[in-house]
Amino acid sequence: MTNNSKIWMDGKLVNWEDANVHILTHGLHYGGGVFEGIRIYNTPKGKAIFRLQDHMVRFYNSAKVIWLNIPFSMEELCEASKTVVRASRPEDDYLRPLAYYGANPEGKIGLNPTKMPTRVSIVATHMGAYMGKEQLESGAKIITSTWEKPGNRSAMLNAKICGNYINSVVAKLEAVHRGFDEALMLNADGEVAEGTGENIFIVKKGVLYTPPLSAGILEGITRDSVSIIAKNKGYDIVERSMTRSELYLADEVFMTGTAAEITPISYIDDISIGSGKAGSITKELQKAFSAAVNGKDPMYAAWLDLV
């Protein structure tokens, strides 16, 4: 694949084809790394990165959880992100910062990463509509995965740790192999947690409900953005545990995430949600969110970092 974009690696821009890692990289073998997914939007004032500071705060917090020392300041990584976007293709709309334990300088391999250097990279690429344009407009069809989310005692679920996501990968594969768009994951208590890479909301009688952090979910930045927008529109947001059958009986269900943005859910386990189409509140929030991220609502201008 020919790509003239540049990738930021360990303090400098390199050509796309030169962004390589050693085969003994610790993070490759054991999942010892952290990452972020950040959207890039075209605004009337030019390209902008959505909630860059908030994403970088979570990036550093995730690294802290696995004792990974990032040898760059937050200001340096924010500026590096802007540099990458400036060097990206016009269609690139997604930014991926990644920090991970590198290769042992002595060529040794093993679980202990103490002597491993920290490697950091930032790349821009094209994401588009994560589950598809039709799903974004009309609704996605999902299943409840047979795989459950790890419990809070077995995984650090509030951090975006690379190794954590193998659980999501197999759940996603299960959904795709069965002909669905996405998977819903339950936690060890049988309660609703989240999607493979998205938070989830239900709408019932005009009130929005979403699982709490204690359910074993990631504290999503899009989840927070949607909650703020919904509250500003007068909706009540309730964080509480919920069951799988509550989703079946909801008026509306939608997922949120950097990749998914706000994606309505039309069917779960072949059961139609509401009318089986995107609901009116979901559509209202989609429209408001789109205005915010594309720089068309001054109320949320602080969420955008122009490059």
- Cα Rg of the chain (Å, integer): 20
Q: How far is CA 73 from the centre of its chain?
A: 22
Strand-strand pairing, 182-186 and 192-195? antiparallel
The Cα–Cα gap between 271 and 23 comes to 45
Residue pair 297/170 in contact by the 8 Å Cβ criterion: no
The Cα–Cα gap between 141 and 138 comes to 10
Cβ partners under 8 Å of residue 177, min gap 6? none
For residues 109-147, b (16+ Cβ closer than 10 Å) or e, as one string? Answer: eeeebeebbbbbbbbbbebeebbeeebbeebbbbbbbeb
Catalytic residues: 160
Written as six digits, the tokens of 154 are 């077995």
Measured torsion, CA atoms of residues 145, 147, 148, 152, in degrees rounded to the nearest 10: -140
Q: Which of 251, 249, 260, 184 is nearest to 226 (CA)?
A: 260
